[in-house]
Amino acid sequence: MCDLFEWANECLFLSQMMSEKPPLPADGQRDEAEPGLGLEQEVTMETARDGWDSKVEYFLAQVGFSVGLGNVWRFPYLCHQNGGGAFILLYVLLMVLVGVPLFFLELAAGQSIRQGSIGVWRHISPKLVGIGYSSCVVCFFVALYYNVIIGWSIFYLGSSFKYRLPWETCPTEGNGTVKECAASSPTEYFWYRKALDITDSIDETGEFNPIITGCLLAAWVIVCLAMYKGIKSTGKVMYFSSVFPYVVLLCFLIRGVTLDGASEGIKFMFYPRLEIWADVQVWRQAATQVFFALGLGFGSVIAYSSYNPRNNNCHRDAFTVSGVNLMTSVLATLVVFAVLGFRAKTIATECVKRSWLLGYLNILGGTRLKFAIFFLSQGVEGTGLAFIAFTEAMTLFPGSPFWSALFFLMLLNLGLSTMFGTMAGILTPLTDTFKTLRNHKFLFTACSCAVGFLIGLMFTQRCGNYFVAMFDDYSATLPLIIVVIFQTFSVAWVYGADRFLEDLKLMLDRPVPVVYKYMWKYVCPVAMLGLLGASLLKMILERPTYIAWNREKASKEDLPYPGWALAVLSMLIVVAFLPVPIGFIHSLLLERLGQSPADAEAGYMPCATTDTDQTPLDTLPPSAGDPSSFSPLLEENQDTHLQNGHIEHFQSSAV
């Protein structure tokens, strides 16, 4: 009786669809009607998607993507540079006013429309499809250099399994130590000469570094194996890659606070200098850190949330993930400053014993805290924090190989969990958009990783570290800011904040605070436009520079990018943003040529609120001739593909 009732419901649904003009498919194209029928009407059923096996997997995936290497080295560096506790207060303020509302917007859009970034913005309007493609391009740029950093972590992890760490002492040359190492430090020498074998400038290319090339290959293989089944395989990996870093951070915190000098480092971390709030560039750095910490604009947040059931409480998820991200940044900063305080105290004590820095003691007033601050300012920047300063501090630990292996295993997992989300920001929207890619997911994933490795070889040259810095500083920042501005404007003004909130009320079965309407319409756009203006102003007023290693001087120096590098830098920004105007112009041309329907009144199709989660096969109505078979409409469709006992794809069928 239940089957007959469901079969009658489906027949009623089909008769209603035949009696009125149905909406176009998401790609804006029609299937041709069969000749002789005299009809062009279609029946369209949404594509059923894979889903997370549990809410825990989804939560770990979102946390793993947002909590990355930047939480361990960029946030502590910014705290040190910009007033310690004052910067943390500013960061929290911007997180609440800008970060959480924009993060919630992406979570809600992906969960409501059930598509990747391309499908989400095309759903709102075909003219906005370029926003999704720009997100994919930026994700690809980031994946190229981010996996190189993971390769460096693999190299250091392998080098940690030695009784005496190879960066503890300088190597000998003849009757003395190597001149370059003696003039710098063992950790700097190992990083610049043994790991990178770096050139003196970006103009000197040099040959490939075979060891780092092998580590990069290993990193891409790990990513490919973890993602070959999409979220079904990625979700399982997240149980380890997202949780293990917290275990390591807690171990380091417990060990760090017991070290001599740790309290001085922590005091310096929380010592507030509120005068830094008057500096526009400090606001820019805090907003940029919020921006990247939550992964806004990448499309990865949208991709992960699109696999959720529609009634998932994404509003609560926005606060939970943002809170975990903030707490992780503070925890990592505590660990870093405790360990660096110990490093500063140890180095200062040795210097005093040798009496060669006694003059500095007089200059700094002789206090241990000021002396610690003096040393904490050395080498604490970007990769230098992880691969030089923190690495040097671990050589002073008893059982240093164990702590070193633990630290770089943590970096490896932090990098991989973020890399999985970055790749999801590429693979999910493209497989949602193109049926051929959707039907060959494993091949597409493997080919994407192979292409990423081949292009990534440019970073394994001896000058590769300079290209990593270029991509990190310029290939993502400006394009992502522009993408997020367009995203916010599209939802708040094109689609309409009131309509979007009403959609979310129906989807979540609870009202959403109306304050988000004003956040999305006014606060967030103004903040993002201010961030864009400050970033452009900095680029215009200051010629872009990079940190180079001078082999003869055995020290770092700031060098301006040459003309050809500035051209590459500009090209990266343009290429990442170019899909937005191209998508808009392409949609206008199709509309003028009559190949694409004009947008509906008031804008655009309302976001879907009916659930299209995977449907078990045993709930489908049987055909009239064979109770064990599927419905005739499903049998006629040649695009149906079954996976794990669920419908994966159901394209429109002409009636």
Write the CB contacts of 297 (distance below 8 Å, at least 6 apart in sequence).
135, 138, 291, 480, 481, 483, 484, 487
pLDDT tens-digit map of 306-352: 999 888 999 999 999 999 999 999 999 888 888 878 877 777 776 66
Give, in order, the Cα–Cα distances in Å from 415 to each of 56, 148, 314, 419, 465: 20, 10, 25, 6, 17
Would you state the structure tokens that stand for residue 514, as one six-digit string? Answer: 């109306």
Q: Is 60 exceeded by the pLDDT of residue 603?
A: no
Look up residue 478 and give its two tokens: 């400006």
Beta bridge partners of 11: none
What are the residues facing 547 on neighbouring strands?
Answer: 558
Q: What is the pLDDT of residues 249-306, one digit of tens each?
A: 999 999 888 888 788 778 777 776 777 788 888 888 888 889 888 999 999 999 999 9
Per-residue confidence at 654, pLDDT binned at 50, 70, 90?
Answer: very low
Distance between CA atoms of residues 509 and 226, nearest Å: 35
pLDDT of 445 reads: 93
Question: Quick one: average pLDDT of 418-447?
Answer: 92
Q: How confident is the model at residue 628 (pLDDT cuts 50, 70, 90)?
A: very low
Encode pLDDT of 575-591 as tens digits.
998 999 999 999 999 88
Q: Which residue has the tokens 């400090």?
A: 282
Q: Which of 71-80, 97-106, 477-486, 542-551 has the lowest mean pLDDT?
A: 71-80
pLDDT digits (tens, 9 = 90+) for 364-376: 444 444 444 444 4
pLDDT the model gives residue 381: 66
Q: Which residues contribute to the annotated binding site for Na(+)?
A: 64, 67, 71, 325, 414
Phi, then psi, of 223 in degrees rounded to 5: -60, -45
| DSSP symbols for 22-33 | PPPPTTS--PPP
Binding residue ranges: 64, 67, 71, 325, 414
- Give dist(CA 416, CA 210) in Å, integer: 22
pLDDT in tens, 19-49: 444 443 443 343 333 333 333 333 344 446 6
**Structure confidence by residue, pLDDT tens digits, 551-565:** 988 888 999 999 999
Sequential DSSP letters for 161-199: SSSS-TTSSPPEETTEE-HHHHHS-HHHHIIIIIIS---
Asked whether residue 388 carries a pLDDT value surpassing 50, the answer given is yes
Q: What is the mean pLDDT of residues 108-120?
A: 92
Q: What is the mean pLDDT of residues 129-141?
A: 94
Give the Cα separation of 652 and 655 in Å (integer): 10
* Residue pair 343/392 in contact by the 8 Å Cβ criterion: yes
Name the average pLDDT for the chain.
Answer: 79
Domain boundaries, the chain: 1-593
Cβ–Cβ under 8 Å, residues 485 and 529: yes
The pLDDT of residue 28:
39
Average pLDDT over residues 130-152: 94
- What mean pLDDT do residues 84-105 have? 90
Helices (H), 434-496: 435-439, 441-456, 464-470, 477-489
Question: What amino acid is encoded at 271 in this protein?
Answer: Y
Q: What is the pTM of this model?
A: 0.81
pLDDT surpasses 70 at 362: no
Task: Let me know: does 138 contact 595? Beta carbons within 8 Å.
Answer: no
Sign of CA dihedral 528, 531, 533, 535: negative
Task: Please determine, for residue 104, whether its predicted confidence score (pLDDT) is greater than 90.
Answer: yes
Higher pLDDT, 487 or 643: 487
Checking 638-641 for CB contacts under 8 A at 24+ apart, the result is 639/435, 641/439
Q: What are phi and psi of 453, to 5 degrees?
A: -65, -45
